[in-house]
Amino acid sequence: MNRFSVSRRRALAGLAAAAVLATAAPAATASVPRAAAPDAAGTGSDAGTVTLTVRHLDRAGRPTAGYETTVTGLTGAGAETSVRPYDADGTTTVRLPRGRYVLDSALTTAAGTDWIVQPRLDLDRDTTVTVDARTARPVDVRPPDAAARFQHGGMFLTVSHGGAERFLNRIEARPDLRVAHLGPAAEPGSVKQWYDAYWTSPGTGVDYALGHTVTGGRALTGLTKQPAPKDLATLRIRTTRPGTVDLQPSAGPTVGVSRALTPAAPATYRVTPDRGTYDVSYAADGGRRENADGLALRPGGTTTLSFPGGATR
């Protein structure tokens, strides 16, 4: 059985709550928590604060109560501020210190999640932002195997400015995530985004690890990647002792995948080499853990990894 595996390199805030992967419900946004802003309820007034109004519209363009929005300070007087304003009528207002912020909003329905990110929100005056699910486009990253089934996926984003960095992520158990950029572009190279999707082909022992990265000034609006067989590398993992094996990309924040490994049932992964190198961790039942990190895999090639010992060929 394949299982969800969290990156060893970077603890993702709030991912303990991502037990959602065992259910059909959309995952909750796991933004980095910071100190709450003064006057976060929107009461009072101060010359150093401004009013932010956020309107939320669903896929039909109607106000919606089904959202979770986080506004996180990046630089300026609000750098240590993070709030999650909410009102059931779909429009929420909050007073915040002046500064540069990152806004991300997840609008959820039975049809899926629309994750909309504004990496540059400059609050130097009273501002109204409209989060509109109709702007989102599908994340469609799938293997060249029509019988393959989606296991889980993770989208990760960092925004940097003035020496500060903020981290956002979505972990999804269903392949119906849609995403969109909102607002003006941030500085070139200040927005980095990763997406990893894991699929399995029933009855074949073959799993797929499909990753993509992008760097620029905007968050992604949709993502379509459907690699051909020739674009994938094959990684075979064998063992002489039963245990478990974890696989994940080496670079960037990520979520990986874990599965049982036995001498009679080796693991075969087909992966996207342009995601970078991959890390493998093996734990023998009742024994120690071994790592084989930084595996460079090439399109069309096959690499075999054997445990214990972690030998490759």
Please report, for the domain that includes residue 108, its CATH number. 2.60.40.1120
Give yes or no: residues 270 and 182 share one domain.
no
Residue 212 covered by a domain: no
**pLDDT score for 22:** 28
CATH code for position 272: 2.60.40.2890
Give yes or no: residues 130 and 30 share one domain.
yes
Query: CA angle, 232 as apex, 227 and 237 as ends, to 5°?
Result: 140
Give yes or no: residues 153 and 240 share one domain.
no
Residue 210 covered by a domain: no
Residue 219 covered by a domain: no
Give the strands of the sheet with 2-6, arranged side by side: 2-6, 255-261, 243-249, 278-284, 289-295
**pLDDT score for 302:** 96
Give yes or no: residues 118 and 39 share one domain.
yes
Can you tell me the distance from the alpha carbon of 129 to that of 56, in angstroms, rounded to the nearest whole number?
9
- pTM for this one? 0.84
**pLDDT score for 9:** 45
Give yes or no: residues 167 and 126 share one domain.
yes
| Ordered DSSP codes for 154-193 | EEEEEEEETTEEEEEEEEESSS--EEEE-SS--STT-EEE
**pLDDT score for 47:** 67
Can you tell me the distance from the alpha carbon of 153 to that of 171, in angstroms, rounded to the nearest whole number?
6
Give yes or no: residues 143 and 235 share one domain.
no
Give yes or no: residues 55 and 16 share one domain.
yes
| Ordered DSSP codes for 138-160 | EEEE--S-TT-EEEEEEEEEEEE
Give yes or no: residues 145 and 282 share one domain.
no
Can you tell me the distance from the alpha carbon of 122 to that of 101, in angstroms, rounded to the nearest whole number?
6
Give the type of residue at 270.
Answer: R
Give yes or no: residues 126 and 260 share one domain.
no
Give yes or no: residues 87 and 166 share one domain.
yes
Residue 155 covered by a domain: yes
Domain assignment of residue 168, given as a range: 7-201
Give yes or no: residues 98 and 26 share one domain.
yes
- Cβ atoms within 10 A of the Cβ of 286, count? 8
pLDDT in tens, the chain (313 residues): 455 444 434 433 333 233 233 222 332 222 232 333 334 343 334 668 999 999 999 999 999 999 999 999 999 999 999 999 999 999 999 999 999 999 999 999 999 999 999 999 999 999 999 999 999 999 999 999 999 999 999 999 999 999 999 999 999 999 999 999 999 999 999 999 999 999 999 988 899 999 999 999 999 999 999 999 999 999 999 999 999 999 999 998 989 999 999 999 999 999 999 999 999 999 998 878 999 999 999 999 999 999 988 777 7
Domain finish residue from 158, 182, 201: 201
Q: What are phi and psi of 15, to 5 degrees?
A: -75, -15
Structure tokens at 136: 């989102």
Residue 2 covered by a domain: no
Structure tokens at 29: 């946004």
Total domains present in the chain: 2
Sign for the pseudo-dihedral over CA of 149, 272, 254, 306:
positive
Distance spanning both ends of the chain, measured CA to CA: 26
